[in-house]
A and B are shown apart, each in its own frame.
Chain A
Amino acid sequence: MYSDKVMAHFANPHNVGEIPDADGIGKVGNPQCGDVMWLYIKVKNNILTDIKFKTFGCGAAIATSSMITDLAKGKTIEEAKKISRQDVADSLDGLPPTKMHCSNLAADALREAIKDYEAKLAEKARA
C-alpha cells in the first residue's frame, strides 16, 4: 500500500535526530491517530542550514518526516514556508488516503518550527 519511495524513506530516514541549540522547534501531534513529530531547525542568513526530526508514528509519518527535511534543507525561510502538504505527498509518489494526514503532520511541524524561530527572532529584536 505504500509507494517504493515511502518505503525507502521509512527504511532509511534522512536527518533523524535533535539539534541541541536549534533556532526553532516544531512539535505537533495528531490527536486522532496519536502520532507525534518534533522538528528542529537551524537558520543562518535566512536559510535553513540544518534540520532534524524525531517521530513517534506509523511508516508514513516517519517517511514524511524524512521527506520534509530533504525538501526544506537549503531553502530560504520564505521558500520553506511554501512547502505544502501536497508537495510532501507528491515527493513520496503519493500516500494511501488514510495516511494523507501524515503529510499534514510533517508540513505542520515545519511551519511550527519556523513560527518558533520567528517568535524567538522577534523577542531578540525587542530585547
Chain B
Amino acid sequence: MRRVYFDHSATTGVLPEVFDAMMPFFLDKFGNSSSIHSFGREAKTALEDSRKHVANLLNADPTEIIFTSGGTESDNLAVKGVAMYKGKMKGHIITTKVEHHAILESCEFLKRFGFEVTHIPVSSEGLVDPAEIERAIRNDTVLISVMMANNEIGTIQPIREIGRIAQSKSIPFHTDAVQAIGKLPIDVKADNIDLLSLSAHKFHGPKGVGALYVRKGTKVEPILQGGGQERGLRSSTVNVAGAVGLGKAAEMAKRDLEPTAEKMKRLRDKMLRAVPELIPKSYVNGHKTKRLVNNAHFRFDFIEGEGLILQLDFKGIAASTGSACSTGSLEPSHVLLALGLTYQQAHGSLRITLGRENTEEEVDYLLEVLPGVVSKLREISPFSESRPMGPGEGGTCVQ
C-alpha cells in the first residue's frame, strides 16, 4: 500500500545530508566538546560551526545560541529562566491561550511559587491582538511569551509588533518558533525578539536537540545546574552529533526556504480551496492568509477526529487531529476551544501538515480519499444536518 506522510508538524524525517554530517560524530569523532585534547577540540570546532549555522538562520550572533534538548527544554529555560532570574519568586507573565503545553505548563509551574500569569485570548482565527498585550502589561511584568506560529492551526502571530511593544517597555520577549522554522524567514533583530525556541526535528534535523536564542544582555537563570556548559546556561555534556545535525538542518532550511515554502503554499492552498468544496459542512480552522505555508486544518460537522485519522491511516495517509483525544487526554484541544468552537466542533478536526517532499499527486490522493472517509463516519454518527447535536448531548466545554 502506498504511504503518504502529512504529519510534519509532529515530526519530520532527517535529510540524508543531515544524517551524513552527523555520522562521524557517533563513530570516530566522538570527543567531548569540553575536553582539551584533539578529540575534544574536533568536537568543539564542529559544535561552533553548527552554532554559526543556527545563528545565521535567525540573523543572530553565534554567542547568542544555546543548545538544548529540544523545543520543550528551550521553552522551559526561557520562561522559568527569565522569570526566576536571581531566585526571584514573584512577578507577572503575559502569554496567550493558544501556546504549546511547554509554555502553558511552565507558567502553571511558576504560579505555584507566586507568579501571576495573564493569558491573552485570540480571535476566531487564532490571532493575538498586540493592543491587548499592551493593555495587559503591568509594572511587575517580567516576560511576554507569544508563539510565532501555532502548532495546531498554523496561525502566524504579529510577532514584530508584539516585540516592539515589549521592547518599548523593556520587558523580555520570548517566542516559541518551533513550527515556524523553515517555513518563515526569521530575523530576531528586525522582529525585536529577545528569546526564541526552536527544535531540530521539526525541520529535518534529528530528534532530541534544539536551541534557545538569547539576545546578548538578556538575563536568564539556568534551570540545569552542573558543569556549566553552554555559557553556564545549560549544563550537561553537549549532544555534539545532534547539534551538528541541527546545524546542517539550519543551513539547509536557510538555503531552501524560498522554493520549499512556495511549493508547500501552493499545495496548501489547493487543499484549503478544495476540501470545503468537496465535502459539505466542512470548514477551515485558523487564519486564511496569516498561516503557515504547510498547514491546512479542517473540521467536519457530525464526526469525531480520531476516527478520521484511523480511517485515513487505513488508506496509508498519516495525519493528525486537532483533538488530544487520541493522545491520552480526552479534552478537546485548548487551541480550538480558544477560537470559540464548541466541544463537538473541536472534536471533528483534521490537521494536514506538509513537508518539503510532499507532491501534488499525494495531495490529490488525499482529496480523492477524504470525502469517502468523512461520509463513512457520518453514516455511523447519530448526528446530521437534519438532526444536529442538541444542547446537553455530548460533552460540555470545561475550560
Q: Does A33 lie within 8 Å of B307, measured CB to CB? A: no
Q: Does A98 lie within 8 Å of B380, measured CB to CB? A: no
Q: A31-B395, A34-B332 are in contact. Are A56 and B326 (CB under 8 A)?
A: no
- B382 contacts the other chain (Cβ, under 8 Å)? yes
- B396 contacts the other chain (Cβ, under 8 Å)? yes
Report the Cα distance A31→B343, complex, angstroms: 10
| Chain B, Cβ-Cβ closest to A34 | B395
- B175 contacts the other chain (Cβ, under 8 Å)? no
Interface residues on B, range: 20 to 34
Report the Cα distance A16→B381, complex, angstroms: 9
Q: Does A55 lie within 8 Å of B330, measured CB to CB? A: no
Q: Does A56 lie within 8 Å of B396, measured CB to CB? A: no
- A57 contacts the other chain (Cβ, under 8 Å)? yes
Q: Does A58 lie within 8 Å of B325, measured CB to CB? A: yes
Report the Cα distance A16→B377, complex, angstroms: 11
B86-94, B283-291, B298-306 - interface stretch: B298-306
Q: Does B343 lie within 8 Å of A56, measured CB to CB? A: no
The residues of A that contact B395 with a CB separation of less than 8 Å are 29-35
| Chain A, Cβ-Cβ closest to B330 | A33
Report the Cα distance A11→B376, complex, angstroms: 10
Number of interface residues of A (CB under 8 A): 25
Report the Cα distance A97→B30, complex, angstroms: 42
Report the Cα distance A121→B310, complex, angstroms: 41
Q: Does A35 lie within 8 Å of B304, measured CB to CB? A: yes
- B383 contacts the other chain (Cβ, under 8 Å)? yes
The residues of A that contact B310 with a CB separation of less than 8 Å are 7, 10, 59
Report the Cα distance A30→B396, complex, angstroms: 9
Partner of A54, one of B306, B344, B380, B393: B380
The residues of B that contact A34 with a CB separation of less than 8 Å are 304, 332, 343-344, 347, 394-395
Give the interface of A toward B (CB within 8 A): 7, 10-11, 13, 16, 27, 29-38, 54-59, 61-62, 98
Give the interface of B toward A (CB within 8 A): 302-304, 306-307, 310, 314, 325-326, 328-332, 343-344, 347, 379-383, 389, 393-396
23 contacts between A and B (CB under 8 A): A13-B380, A31-B394, A32-B331, A34-B332, A34-B343, A34-B344, A35-B304, A35-B394, A35-B395, A36-B382, A36-B389, A38-B382, A54-B381, A55-B381, A55-B382, A56-B302, A56-B304, A59-B307, A59-B310, A59-B326, A61-B304, A62-B380, A98-B329
